[in-house]
Amino acid sequence: MALPPLAILADLTARGIPVDDADLAGIYLDIASSLVRSAAGHAISLTTATVALDGTCTTRLRLPGAPVTAVHSVVMDEVPVTDYRLSAGCLVHPAGWFGDSVEVTYTYGLPVVPADIVDMVCRLTAQALAGDPAARAIRSERIGDYSVTYSDADTGTMSLSDAQRHRIAARFGSPLSSVKSL
């Protein structure tokens, strides 16, 4: 199941961004949302996922994504586990997580997408909708014998700047690798 975009058409219009083609804007909102989620390492918005984690000898097993709001099922080496508790985004089991594989189905993420993330997705979408170099993010500029380089000049595709990537990674933590949405 595809995740909904982190911003919607109404967010674009609320920011005064003209939308002549709603279908195209929807495509760009999806792409921008995917870029931001990729940099964050998880869904950001509230979602239910199943993740397969390697077992560990410790009593705590950290679940990727934050915040974790509910755990629906835990299976260790194909055996359901019920005597765990959730604490600060970790599953705590008194005997540890010694199995080879721990599969967890849980809900995590934010019930409301933060305003700055909505704004970032809208700005990326606006740049793509404008389709003109002046609307793209400038990577470098020189005044003597005027020269300018745009962030997407090499690929012609929507992309996050390094500063945006670092800001998202610092806010949301490390990437999540083996999660599939339900």
DSSP state of 135: G
Question: What's the mean pLDDT in 82-89?
Answer: 94
pLDDT digits (tens, 9 = 90+) for 72-83: 999 999 999 999
Q: In this structure, what are the phi and psi dihedrals at residue 50, rounded to the nearest 5 degrees? A: -120, 130
182 vs 32, higher pLDDT: 32
How far lies 72's CA from each of 75, 100, 107, 168, in Å?
A: 10, 20, 8, 28
pLDDT digits (tens, 9 = 90+) for 16-58: 999 999 999 999 999 999 999 999 888 999 999 999 999 998 9
Q: What is the pLDDT of residue 146?
A: 82
Write the CB contacts of 134 (distance below 8 Å, at least 6 apart in sequence).
none
The answer to whether the peptide bond before residue 67 is cis (omega within 30 degrees of 0) is: yes
Would you say residue 176 has pLDDT above 60?
no
Q: Are 64 and 127 in contact (CB under 8 A)?
A: no
Write down the domain spans for the chain. Answer: 9-43+113-170, 47-108
